[in-house]
Each structure stands twice: as structure tokens, then as C-alpha cells.
Amino acid sequence: MYEQIARNKRRTFIILFAFVGLVMLVAVAFDILFGGGVAGLVVVLVISLGLAFFSYFNSDKIALAASHAKPASETEYRRYHNLVEGLCIAAGLPKPRLYVVDDPAPNAFATGRNPKHAALAVTTGLLNTMNRVELEGVIAHELSHVKNYDILVTTVAVVAVGAIALLADIGLRFAFWGGLRDSRRDSNDGGVGAILALLSLALLVLAPFAGYLMQFAMSRNREYLADASGVQLTRYPPGLISALEKLRDDQAVVHYATKATAQMWIEQPLEVPQDDNKKDARSRFNHLFDTHPPLEDRIKRLKEM
């Protein structure tokens, strides 16, 4: 488990460097299309580094805002606070900031850059659907993400994917509104300039997909590890098993979840295509891009513990 935590920390810095590198490639595409020169590249490099540091220190705030999470009042959500406090004492963790998402779909996520700066959010649907031992299992799972430093990897990825998609979209809009025409008009080098312009456009189109691949590159084993760590914390596997079974049987989607934030939740918050037999109709290839392992597999592993 300690090896997994160390691996998660290393993966975070790799993702940060990959994020800066991808933004720099987008910057080069900007420079080629709009002729910014060396000065333009320096400016974008500074912006890229600034975005990386911003995502490191503020990704939790962005994730909470994107999910429409509100601080959980201690008087209104006393059971929620009591369960978190008890589990934090057992796990040796500081109590995270607690939030509630007003959504009928049962789900939860943890975010932050480390245990001292962590936040936990649950939906009103989760609080209304789960009994005490089930809710304890879900919270223990999320606190395990905090203890294992999974939260830093996932929240940084949320900001990275969003920023790359935004920059690529802006670049494409400017290119089609005049940048590409200018590049073709100014190229007097036997068509090399036009080729570079087309390659730059291709990079802007593919950059968001590369960002999503960065997101999917994070091993789904972290969910299995958090399940096992959560059960170890509560010492009662049936609690989390029952909670996952309820999540499996519930078809509601989280209204404020997006593709960028999907990986943070305890289970897939977005709609999954179903066939007539209510089984997953996607191909084995498409499963490679899932943000979570199948709930059936997670339940099976817990039952075998």
C-alpha cells in the first residue's frame, strides 16, 4: 500500500510535466498559425507554468465549484460529520472539509492536494439512500483516496483536461477566423509554411483527446485499492458491498458531473448505454476508456476478501 502511495505521488508530477508539455505543443501551434515568434513562445511558457502551479494549488476549489458542491452544515448534516470524524480518528487523518451536492443521484468524491488540504463531497441522494453502515463504507472508501494520495492525481487531471480543451478550442476558432489564411498567404517557402499550419491545426484538434488519454492513463486499480483500504478501515466489508450494490442498481446520473470530473466520483456519474437486458452494451474496446472498473468486479473482489 505504501508503494502505491509513492507511485501516486510520482504519477502526479509526471502528469504535471505532461500537462505543461502538451500546453507547450498547443503554444507552438498557436505560434505557427499566428506568427508570434520567440516572444510569443516565452509568453505561453510562462502561462503554461502558471497554469500548472494554479492547478496544483486550486484544483480542489475548481472541482468543487464545477460540481456545485456547498459546505455541509454541522447542524443539518450531523450524521455525515459524525461518521467522518470517527473514521478520520481511526485512519489517523485530519478531518477534511465537508460538502454536499444537491443531486438525487447517490454518489460521492474526495478532492484536494494532500490530507491536510482535502475535501469530501457527497450528494443528497447518497445521504438519503444509504443507511449508516453503507454510508460509512462509502466515506471510508473516499478517505482511503485521501490517505493514498489518489485525490491529488485526479483533481490535477480535471484542471489539465479542461485547460487543454479550452486552449485548443480558442486556437481552432482563431485559426478558422483568419489565422490559417494568414499563414498560407505569408508562406514563401515552397509550401512548408502551409504544411506546418495544417500540422498545427491537427495538433489543436488532437490535443483535447491527448488530455483525456492522460486522464484515462491513471490506473483504475486505485478504485480497487480504495475499496480494500475502506473495508480495512471499517472492518465491515458488507457495508461497502451493500453500498456498491445500491449504486449498481441505481440508474440516476449526477447532473453536474462532466467527462473531466467523472473519474473523481466513487462510481461512474455519467449515463452508460444499456441494452434490452440492462447489461453494458459497449464493446470491450470502449471499456478501455472507462474511468471506473465495473461495479460487479469491485463487489466480487470485496466478497472474496
Q: Residues with catalytic annotation?
A: 142
Q: What does 82-97 look like in DSSP terms, one character per residue?
A: HHHHHHHHHHT-PPPE
Instruction: Give the contacts of 265 (CB within 8 A, at least 6 positions apart).
Output: 107, 108, 109, 254, 257, 292
* Sign of the CA dihedral with 225 first, then 272, 99, and 83 last: negative
Nearest to 24 by CA among 195, 210, 192: 210
Helix (H) or strand (E) holding 2: helix 2-34
Nearest to 295 by CA among 87, 141, 80, 124: 141
Determine the Cα angle at 123 with ends 260 and 94, to 5°: 85
Whether residue 241 contacts residue 303, with contact meaning beta carbons closer than 8 Å, is answered with yes
